[in-house]
Amino acid sequence: MKLRLLVVELWGVGDLTIATPFLQAASEKYDVTLLAKPFAQDLRVRFWPQVKVVTFVAPWTAFKGKYRLFHWPWRELYCRLRQLRADRFDLGLSGRWDPRDHMVMALAGARRRLGFPRMQSRILLTDPLTRPDPLEHRYEYWRVIAEALGFQLPSRGQLVFPHGRAQSGILVHSGARLPVRVWPLARYRNLVQNLRRLGHMVQVACDPDQRDWWLDAGEERVATPGTITELFELIDRAKLFVGNDSGPGHLAAFCGVPTLTIFGPQLPEWFAPLHPDAEWIEGKACPYKPCSDYCRFTEPKCLVGVSEEEVTERVLAFAEHHLSASAEAGQQMISSR
């Protein structure tokens, strides 16, 4: 009988996607329950169907007003903790150095609790772990946890991804959860026009709050996926992905689509998509970078400073490399028949 394992990952799509290799490997050895936001249900179907998902939107993950305690969903939190305690978990863990996660594991009654201590949260952990080097990718935290549980995760360079299903087409996604991660939309529009002018098929996708802007700009077929499943449908029709430092790029990478990410306040060393063909443009220097998405200026200089010319040049080279290679591979397959 497998031991029962509780995994706490209450943050964004990108964070949970980076945890995917761990969840896949852990579900082979443990009876895994994941506490995460509701979108985790769609990821479960695609990436780790053996994992049970318990959904909860933690109020402390909000961008603003996270500690307005009178507005917290206390009844829902109590019900979720009661539900988790009933499962009598043998182990609980979090890949973040977050005392709030450690408190959740303790209140959920996990007998062993693994995590990276911070701000005296060591008292909540039975198995405190040593954090990787500060410049290591977030994926390395999951590798440390896996080793503590007695199994190995491959290094980033050894991860295996499926081959993308499409043979052509570029998906350009202009959205991000936070405004400081959004490269200016007017520059995205010009990038799309340049790509189409050179004969590339481009599908534009965006967040709901950007849809009217794209329609006013003349993009009649802009897609606005409302769920992760709808986003998967767009990704599966794309050969390449271009977008901001946000969840859709991480999802595209795990679906086998090479990605080019435009970074702003965060560091590629921490959050670059894990696909071996992932590329990125790093945000410009700033004395406060990385700034955890709370910009001290009227606009994120690290991101606005990434010029349209710089991005266009990189994207065109990115497309030329991958789409030409795909065409050559297709010709070789035809010739061999």
Q: What is the mean pLDDT of residues 32-46?
A: 97
Q: Is 165 part of any domain?
A: no
Residues 186 and 148 in one domain: no
Residues 153 and 174 in one domain: no
Alpha helices in 238-306 (DSSP H): 247-254, 268-271, 301-304
Q: Is 201 part of any domain?
A: yes
Residues 177 and 154 in one domain: no
Q: Is 164 part of any domain?
A: no
Percent of the chain's residues with pLDDT above 90 = 83
Distance, in Å, from the CA atom of 117 to the CA atom of 42, rounded to the nearest integer, reads 30
Contacts 24+ apart (CB under 8 A), 307-310: 308/187, 308/190, 308/191, 310/281
In the predicted structure, residue 5 carries a pLDDT above the cut 90: yes
In the predicted structure, residue 193 carries a pLDDT above the cut 60: yes
What one-letter code names the amino acid at 40?
A
pLDDT in tens, 57-88: 999 998 788 888 888 999 999 999 999 999 99
Q: Is 138 part of any domain?
A: yes
Residues 154 and 174 in one domain: no
143-147, 166-170, 232-236, 266-270: segment of lowest average pLDDT: 166-170
Q: pLDDT at position 337, please?
A: 47
Residues 215 and 177 in one domain: yes
Q: What is the mean pLDDT of residues 309-320?
A: 96
In the predicted structure, residue 326 carries a pLDDT above the cut 70: no
Q: pLDDT at position 133, please?
A: 93
Residues 190 and 328 in one domain: yes
Q: Cα–chain-centroid distance for residue 66?
A: 21
8 Å CB contact between 58 and 10: yes
Residues 306 and 190 in one domain: yes
pLDDT in tens, 90-129: 999 999 999 999 999 999 999 999 999 999 999 999 999 9
pLDDT band at 331 (very low <50, low <70, confident <90, very high): very low
How many domains does one find in the chain? 2
Percent of the chain's residues with pLDDT above 70 = 95
Of 127, 158, 189, which marks where a domain is finished? Answer: 158
Q: Which class for 106: exposed (0-12), middle (13-18), buried (19 or more C-beta within 10 A)?
A: middle
Q: How far is CA 179 from CA 63, 174, 185, 294, in A?
A: 11, 11, 11, 10
Distance, in Å, from the CA atom of 144 to the CA atom of 130, rounded to the nearest integer, reads 8
In the predicted structure, residue 329 carries a pLDDT above the cut 50: no
Q: pLDDT at position 159, please?
A: 93
Q: Which class for 304: exposed (0-12), middle (13-18), buried (19 or more C-beta within 10 A)?
A: middle
Q: pLDDT at position 325, please?
A: 56
Q: What is the mean pLDDT of residues 318-327?
A: 78
Residues 63 and 141 in one domain: yes
168 vs 165, higher pLDDT: 168
Q: pLDDT at position 183, please?
A: 97
Q: pLDDT at position 144, please?
A: 98
Whole-model pTM? 0.91
Residues 6+ apart with CB under 8 A from 334: none
pLDDT in tens, 126-163: 999 999 998 999 999 999 999 999 999 999 989 988 87
Of 123, 158, 193, which marks where a domain is finished? Answer: 158
Distance, in Å, from the CA atom of 298 to the CA atom of 148, rounded to the nearest integer, reads 44
Residues 180 and 113 in one domain: no
Q: Is 144 part of any domain?
A: yes
Q: Is 163 part of any domain?
A: no
Q: Is 32 part of any domain?
A: yes
Residues 131 and 235 in one domain: no
CATH number at residue 77: 3.40.50.2000
Distance, in Å, from the CA atom of 185 to the CA atom of 164, rounded to the nearest integer, reads 27
What one-letter code names the amino acid at 143?
R
Residues 315 and 203 in one domain: yes
Q: Is 31 part of any domain?
A: yes
Q: What is the mean pLDDT of residues 320-330?
A: 66
Instruction: State the residue range of the domain holding 187.
Output: 170-336
In the predicted structure, residue 242 carries a pLDDT above the cut 60: yes
Residues 19 and 49 in one domain: yes
In the predicted structure, residue 46 carries a pLDDT above the cut 70: yes
Mean pLDDT of all residues in the chain? 92
Q: pLDDT at position 151, please?
A: 96
pLDDT band at 223 (very low <50, low <70, confident <90, very high): very high
Distance, in Å, from the CA atom of 247 to the CA atom of 17, rounded to the nearest integer, reads 8
Structure tokens at 97: 């150095």
The DSSP 8-state label assigned to residue 120 in this structure reads T
Q: pLDDT at position 88, please?
A: 97
Of 158, 188, 217, which marks where a domain is finished? Answer: 158
Q: pLDDT at position 136, please?
A: 94
